[in-house]
A and B are shown apart, each in its own frame.
Chain A
Amino acid sequence: QSVLTQPPSASGTPGQRVTISCSGSSSNIGSNTVNWYQQLPGTAPKLLIYGSNNQRPSGVPDRFSGSKSGTSASLAISGLQSEDEADYYCAAWDDSLNGVVFGGGTKLTVL
């Protein structure tokens, strides 16, 4: 049971816009920044979105964007491409647990 809640799966067709939600509480998302990672099969995760201004590391396309409201956050992917098929994780520091908490992950399928 993960501290942050994500839907286990999501899907979309090429070119479509999809969003993945991440729900937490006042001790994590409500008071700290949310980071998003993409994990392709058999590889290490890759940072997509981070920081209070939802920044993208160099090399991450602007098709990926993040937002936060209260104790929930979302990752949006526009212009969906086949190579976006992967697992996506949200994460944040938790002030009560004194550690980083992850969502359970969302498997994105491009139909």
Chain B
Amino acid sequence: EAQLVESGGGLVQPGGSLRLSCAASGFTVSSYWMHWVRQAPGKGLVWVSRIGTDGSSIRYADSVKGRFTISRDNAKNTLYLQMNSLRAEDTAMFYCARAVATTRNAYDIWGQGTMVTVSS
């Protein structure tokens, strides 16, 4: 069964950094387009970033461009999101998601989410 498990969230001060991990099982991360999506408490879904099957085709939302970096480790079958210069408005539940094989951005598998809280 395909599954994603996020980790790495927590409480961080403004200006700090965190690295989120998304461990995949039941499928190969490098064979699918993978994304990060976030959801602030009580708010809607917001797309953050994606990485293509070729390991490039990387895109970011304007709100995180220059601060966040998406990557993956094929050997560990894991997706990452390095988050630097964190701001209060980055406080959210972060989900990693797998795109349906025939699409690039329809997410059929989601992780359970990892909470990131940016506060002093």
Contacts and interface: CB of A to CB of B under 8 A. Distances in A.
Contact of A50 (B46, B62, B100): B100
Interface residues of B, number: 24
Interface of B: 35, 37, 44-47, 50, 59-62, 95, 100, 102-108, 110-113
Interface SS, A side:
strand
Contact of A105 (B37, B45, B61, B103): B45
Contact of A91 (B59, B105, B108, B110): B105
Interface of A: 2, 33, 35, 37, 39, 44-47, 50-51, 57, 87, 89, 91, 93, 97-105
Given A99-B47, A100-B47, A105-B45, A35 B113 contact: no
A105 B44 contact: yes
B60 A37 contact: no
Given A102-B45, A105-B44, 13 more contacts: A35-B105, A35-B107, A37-B45, A44-B95, A46-B110, A47-B106, A51-B100, A51-B106, A89-B45, A99-B62, A100-B47, A100-B105, A102-B44
A96 to B, nearest CB: 11
Which of B45, B59, B95, B112 lies at the interface centre, i.e. has the most chain A CB atoms within 10 A of its CB?
B45
